[in-house]
Amino acid sequence: MGRLVPEIRTSSDCDRFSPLAPRNTMPNTKAMSLYAGNKLRHVRETLGLTLRDVETASSEIAARHANQEFFIPFSRLAEIETKGLVPSIYRMYSLAAVYRCDFRTLFSWYDINLEGLPEDGNIVPIPRTHPFGSVPHPDSLMLPVAMDPAFDVRRTMDLARMIQRWGVIPLQFIEGFRRGSHSYAFVGTEDFTMYPLLMPGSFLQVDMRKTEILKEGWRSEHERPIYFVETREEFICSWCNVSDAGQLVIQPHPLSPVKPRVFRHPQEAEIIGQVVGVAMRLGEWSPYPQHSTSEVPARLN
């Protein structure tokens, strides 16, 4: 469910809505629509527009689109602002156009968060391969605009720790990097620990809630959990195991040139989370350097 909208506390509202009413019922919905109407009235008055001004403007919009559904009579607008009447999608469009307001902002006043479409779309699994068509097309996003000078693309990094400052930039989707139960990581361009299962330069989504190391239950290497590990000197993305002595064993892919390593756990190495998503390019990579066996681990770790 989206964020809770503060209830409008007027004497008439308090008399009309019982405080004992259950959540997610009409009283809360009514309070939400009253809140939205109050916001719409505030915007209109701030712009110096009268009810008649909005009516006239919406009439021109309706004529331009040859659709009377865009028209908002002043009496109907008054009901939207003061009586909690919910406008149609056509009238929402007219209000957004007249008030020069982002339609997503208007929707948010009615407790509709369009940014939640991708997450809500995962409720029903679609059995067939399909293109994404439900993702909104925002015109701005929060992106990292200042990175830590210590960021080195050759090494595996925790991106959230490397971002010093966020800023609003056209296009959107990476705002989730800085909040929630997931973190994001970048596999260093010289990190071949999980090669060729995870190519150097891959982006990883890490679920920080999954820190328990599983010892069995997978049917292939693709199902075996991969963990994101932080040591005193670096980050490592790898299969993991815990020895009988309680030590954390880093187990690279069998085809990787990197040798297994052992750390005291959690003194020397900590499990940040489990890798649950991967984004990697398949056409722009090179095989790992052909070094001698003794040189490879020191140069690639």
What are the pLDDT digits (tens) for 249-289? Answer: 999 999 999 999 999 988 999 999 999 988 887 766 666 55
Asked, for residue 201, whether it belongs to a domain, the answer is yes
Note whether residue 278 is domain-resident.
yes
* The total number of structural domains that make up the chain: 2
User: Are residue 88 and residue 182 in the same domain, yes or no?
Assistant: no
Whether residues 201 and 107 share a domain: the answer is: no
Residues 295 and 194 placed together within one structural domain of the fold:
yes
Name residue 1's beta-bridge partners. Answer: none
Q: What average pLDDT does the chain have?
A: 77
- Model pLDDT, residue 81: 95
Q: In terms of domains, do 155 and 292 share one?
A: yes
User: Tokens at residue 82, please?
Assistant: 């003061």
The domain that holds 87 is classified in CATH as 1.10.260.40
Helix axes 89-98, 51-65, angle to 10 degrees: 110
Closest CA relative to residue 204, chosen from 220, 174, 184 = 184
Strands (E), 130-285: 141-147, 157-158, 163-169, 182-186, 203-207, 227-231, 235-242, 247-251, 261-264, 269-279
pLDDT digits (tens, 9 = 90+) for 42-60: 999 999 999 999 999 999 9
Residue 243 belongs to domain with CATH number? 2.10.109.10
For residues 109 and 203, state if they share a domain. Answer: no
Same domain, 178 and 104: no
* Tokens encoding 105: 């902002």
d(CA 163, CA 159) in angstroms, rounded, equals 6
Q: What is the pLDDT of residues 186-223, one digit of tens each?
A: 888 889 999 999 988 888 889 999 999 998 899 999 99
User: Is residue 185 included in any domain, yes or no?
Assistant: yes
Which structural domain range is residue 27 located in?
A: 11-113
Query: Would the CA dihedral through 69, 72, 76, 82 be positive or negative?
Result: positive
Q: Each residue of 137-155: pLDDT tens digit? A: 555 555 565 667 776 767 7
Q: Distance between alpha carbon 245 and the CA centroid of its chain, in Å?
A: 39
Instruction: Report d(CA 57, CA 46) in Å as an integer.
Output: 17
**What does the pLDDT read at residue 270?**
92
Would you say residue 263 lies in a domain?
Answer: yes
- Flag whether 121 is in a domain: no
pLDDT score recorded for residue 300: 39
Query: Is there a single domain that holds both residue 212 and residue 284?
Result: yes
Q: Give the tokens for residue 238.
A: 């790898």
